[in-house]
Amino acid sequence: MDATGRIEQDRFYSKATKALALVLVLAIVGFAAFYYLDRYHADRTPIVDQEVARLWQMVANDPSNPQTRVALATLLMHKEAYADAIAQYGEALKLDENNATALAGLGLAYFRSGKPKEAAAAFERVIELTKDNPPAQRTPAMATVHHYLGRIYATEGDLKRAEEQFSKALSIKRSDADTIYYLAQVVAQQGRNGEAIELYKAATALVPNYAEAYEGLAKAYAASGLTVEASYAGAMVDYSRGNYDAAISRLQGVIQAKPDFGEAYYGLGAAYDKKGEEQKAIEAYQMALRYQPDNEAARVSLLRLGVKPPVNVTPAAGH
């Protein structure tokens, strides 16, 4: 699984409920739904296999229905049966060459199969089809198309085109941590470390245990000569990977070097929180708010632990 595979593991639903939602949503929405469900729900459930079998039978009964083939291909994608998915998307396109959902799905299937040139061709065709349709250009599916095109261009070293695609994706869905992360990488490769730092921080604000983003943040801080901040980001890599004792030790060193580093206090609180040391976590969260009054994550964490955060926090002197 690539760098997008680490986002929150549990979504408060049972496996059966998730699988049923997967089948229903994929059948209705198609490609964009697959993209997000593929990132958030990696389980393979019997109900999906049953739905695949049912769709295979529907295709056999009515081979001329492109929608059925697209629905089947999308579920095959979830099962990582990429060759079969490509075949079904291809058959759907023979029946309807301008089926944007089939084209987008085909692009993703090629991408997952390690065929970026074929993927890019399919994605670019989707963009061409929607160029005169502003509402279609603003859909979640189009954000996904731009996201993957950006990744392909970035891999090819075409950083400007990659940045353009990631920016377009974010203009549709601003809270996509993965796209923000990949944009940060592209920006950093162009030597714009200040911008990269802000982007990596935005990604980790959305996904607090985003190890890859913290790794990028550490590199950007180091490239900017911010050694203490780089050490903080490295500690948060430990935190994100469940190495809480190592994170605590490193964060304590960061705080010793920079006692007013609010983000480091928050990280320390989060690590203590994960270890079940609530009082230490509370104290660290409170210190985070002392130096960083707008740290909503610290505020929410205190509330979750049954502690009322200060209503109006005045930053310590010099902040």
Domain count, the chain: 3
Give pLDDT, residue 10. 27
Name the pTM for this structure.
0.81
252 burial level (CB within 10 Å; 0-12, 13-18, 19+) = middle
* 125 inside domain: no
**Does residue 104 share a domain with residue 13?**
yes
* 124 inside domain: no
CA nearest neighbour of 160 among 150, 173, 169, 174: 150
**Does residue 183 share a domain with residue 99?**
no
Give pLDDT, residue 33. 52
121 vs 35, more confident: 121
Give the pLDDT band of residue 312 (cuts 50, 70, 90).
low
| Cα dihedral 178→184→190→192 (10° resolution) | 170
Give pLDDT, residue 34. 53
CA distance 47 to 55: 12
Task: Look at residues 61, 82, 114 and tell me which one is the last residue of a structural domain.
Answer: 114
CATH of the domain at 287: 1.25.40.10
Task: Look at residues 152, 184, 209 and tell me which one is the last residue of a structural domain.
Answer: 209
Q: Which domain holds residue 170?
A: 130-209
Tens digit of each residue's pLDDT (9 = 90 or more) over 133-157? 899 889 998 999 999 999 999 999 9
Mean pLDDT of all residues in 158-179: 97
CA distance 214 to 32: 27
**Average of per-residue pLDDT values in the chain:** 87
**Does residue 145 share a domain with residue 248?**
no
Assess contact for 219 and 231: CB atoms under 8 A.
no
Tens digit of each residue's pLDDT (9 = 90 or more) over 180-234? 999 999 999 999 999 999 999 999 999 999 999 999 999 999 999 999 999 999 9
Token pair in block for residue 2: 């690539």
Give the pLDDT band of residue 49 (cuts 50, 70, 90).
confident
**Does residue 1 share a domain with residue 110?**
yes
Tens digit of each residue's pLDDT (9 = 90 or more) over 64-95? 999 999 999 999 998 999 999 999 999 999 99
On the question of pLDDT at 28 being above 60, the answer is no
**Strand residues in the chain grouped as ranges (E):** none
Task: Look at residues 209, 242, 271 and tell me which one is the last residue of a structural domain.
Answer: 209
CA nearest neighbour of 190 among 223, 168, 213, 215: 223
CB contact burial 38-50 (16+ within 10 A = b; e otherwise) = bbebeeebeebee
**Does residue 316 share a domain with residue 247?**
yes
On the question of pLDDT at 119 being above 90, the answer is yes
